[in-house]
Amino acid sequence: MQRKAGPNRKEKAAQTRNRIYESAKQLFYEQGFERVNVDDIVKRAGVAKGSFYVHFESKDSLIAMLISEYVKKIDAGYKTFLESLPSGMPPDEALLSLVGRIADVIGESIGREHMRILYRIQIGTDIPGGAAIDYSRELYKLFFDIIDSGISRRIFRSDLSAAEIAKHFIMAYRGVVYEWCARYPEVDLKELSLRHFQLLLTGIKADDPANHA
């Protein structure tokens, strides 16, 4: 009968998926990832447990999805932050500002718990052909731009590509956050980040004092 408004099968499936997704989101928000189980989610969504697994790989992958979605949203804010910096600021200073800012955001808005879960999930499953760690794509671009500008302005070495350096920076940043997650609350994320990136900028080799202007 319903020849007009009748949703086709794909639409229906998408609706089911979305009901599960939104139910999970709400429940997680209300009670946290640990306290909510898959049965709770499907109950609120009004579907059978099996349906959850028709639409999602696992509880963990759904959590990873939600967190990285959130992280991405937050990452978008860094661009604004960077634009707010004095336009003449040298790339190395801009980089450290950004790093400090990221530490603030992670420490205050995201929290160690969520980062820990994200990192655990990311290393815990070998499913993805690249789906993982995608959440730092935006961040990569920002690093890249700063570094690229630094190279153009001869402030950074030119024998390495900005892309290469940016990759290493993202990796280093991840190492710092991992350390922070594992050793919390022994270490302060911001301090650790800044020190590490200072090191990364200048290296540890002795500098000939004559080299300064």
Partner DNA sequence: GTAATTCAATGACCGCGGTCATTATATCAT
Partner DNA sequence: ATGATATAATGACCGCGGTCATTGAATTAC
Binding site for DNA (CB under 7 A): 6, 8-10, 12-13, 15-17, 37-39, 47-55, 58-60
Nearer to DNA by Cβ, of 51 and 136: the residue is 51
Alpha-carbon distance of 197 to 210, in angstroms, equals 24
Q: Does 168 bind a second copy (CB under 8 A)?
A: yes
Alpha-carbon distance of 11 to 122, in angstroms, equals 30
**Token pair of 202, please?**
């200048």
Residues 6+ apart with CB under 8 A from 89: 97
Q: Which does 16 bind (CB under 5 to 8 A by kind): DNA, a second copy, none?
A: DNA
Query: Nearest approach, Cβ of 206 to a second copy (angstroms)?
Result: 5
Q: Which of 202, 206, 178 is nearest to 192 (CA)?
A: 178
Alpha-carbon distance of 117 to 59, in angstroms, equals 12
Residue written as tokens 């020190």?
195
Q: Which does 201 bind (CB under 5 to 8 A by kind): DNA, a second copy, none?
A: a second copy
- Which member of 24, 101, 156, 189 binds a second copy (CB under 8 A)? 156
Q: Does 123 bind a second copy (CB under 8 A)?
A: yes
Alpha-carbon distance of 31 to 46, in angstroms, equals 19
Summarize as ranges the residues that interact with a second copy (CB under 8 A).
Answer: 92, 116, 119-120, 122-124, 126, 132-133, 147, 150, 154-158, 160, 164-165, 168, 171-176, 178-179, 181-184, 192, 195-196, 199-208, 210-211
